[in-house]
Structure 1
């Protein structure tokens, strides 16, 4: 009697197993070979539970639940390091190498890459030119290791009218420079237009936005 009250029947055990499998730790972590084996074991246990649907609680269900618990623990151990590694991996900085180039130099490099139809590299150089230009205008501080996402937030605060364009460019940089995205000539022309507009635009705040003192 006590056993029947504490041990769920096959349908309830199946529901509990499905809930465990739906947790984000299994969804987010891309399975490797060991994880796929664990997943196969979990599915096999689920099929066994389906087969016990006609029976009530009993020792067989208890054994299956214990086995499922052991497999779930193994799955957590295998999956958690991969999920944690993905969540804590830092976004690389926009500037690389030891050579510090001016905004004009980055624009020249962008034009050269565009002439060779190397759109990904041209986009990267344009974003670097935009950030360096803001540093040269003393609108943002020089920040070694600044990421594209950080630059988008900082520049968006200085140029709110173009915040959406800067955010788009930062996302494009991440997709094409660190991901598997491929930029196009159209996107390069849009990025060049953003650079030109930022260069001509009066910032909303910062030293360049302050009115000069009236002559005495």
Structure 2
């Protein structure tokens, strides 16, 4: 008999004259209260789980109940539920891989250049430093600034404070029609990275770098240079 059982049993027995134990007829209410008082003593709770452990046990019981309920309502039971969960995870990973980080549309077209005047060479050098450090978001942005600054230095764009990447791409596409689409794509990517929360990678930076190099070697169609640009 356990310590608890023995103690409660002693509460319900009395000693007879001949030394034998006789059961005591105690009403149910007082008997229950006596048992509760006995069981409330610290000696019976030394090995009880602490508050955190009890909370975790309740949480896992809740999770297990949800899982069992879902498994009971799913064709194939638990195996079917696990299969569905794995399919959902696989689809989520595939969509994330295909679409990348969810984009947020920029609220406004912010200016391309946020600092004082810097040459295209300076922007390129900064872009290379960011790329070497693995900071491709900054590298892509600096390379886009280098592209636009180089077009200004070649008088294919008139220097204009507050110009956005989209405006620069649209204006540069006129004297450089063969690269108009690539410029528009670069401007959209710049906006997505700078203002839309999209993450750039090495391949994105290399595309900007290649576009920059191609533009340097491309002869413009001078008859369509932006009006007001120097000849």
Coarse TM-score class (shorter-chain normalised)? 0.5 to 0.7
Q: Alignment length, in residue pairs?
A: 121
Given that 2:174 and 2:224 are in contact with CA atoms closer than 8 Å, whether structure 1 keeps it comes out as: no
Q: Which one of the candidate residues 124, 129, 147 is aligned to 2:164? A: 147
1:121-170 residue CA offsets vs partner (Å, 9 max, x unmatched): 11111111111111111111001000011011011111110111111110
Q: How far apart, CA to CA, are the structure 2 residues paired with 1:157 and 1:173? A: 20
What corresponds to 1:165 in structure 2?
A: 182
1:83-102 residue CA offsets vs partner (Å, 9 max, x unmatched): xxxx9x531000002x2110
What corresponds to 1:93 in structure 2?
A: 111
Larger radius of gyration: 2
* Post-superposition offset of 1:206: 5.9
Report runs of 4+ in structure 1 exceeding 4 Å deviation: none
Pairing 1:1-216 to 2, within 5 Å after superposition: 90-97=108-115, 99-205=116-222
* Post-superposition offset of 1:207: 9.5
Q: Which has the higher helix share?
A: 1
Alignment RMSD: 2.0
Q: Does the C-alpha gap of structure 1 residues 127 and 206 become closer, same or farther in structure 2, counting only changes over 3 Å?
A: farther
Q: How far apart, CA to CA, are the structure 1 residues paired with 2:182 and 2:165? A: 13
Q: Does the C-alpha gap of structure 1 residues 150 and 178 become closer, same or farther in structure 2, counting only changes over 3 Å?
A: same
1:157-213 residue CA offsets vs partner (Å, 9 max, x unmatched): 1111011111111001000001110111011111100000001100112699xxxxx
Given that 2:166 and 2:187 are in contact with CA atoms closer than 8 Å, whether structure 1 keeps it comes out as: yes
Scaled by the length of structure 1, what TM-score is found?
0.53
- Give unpaired runs (5+ residues) of structure 2: 1-104, 226-231
Q: How far apart, CA to CA, are the structure 2 residues paired with 1:172 and 1:207? A: 26
Q: How far apart, CA to CA, are the structure 1 residues paired with 2:224 and 2:121? A: 21
Q: How far apart, CA to CA, are the structure 1 residues paired with 2:203 and 2:223? A: 32
Scaled by the length of structure 2, what TM-score is found?
0.50
Q: Look up the SS of the partner of 1:131 in the other structure.
A: helix
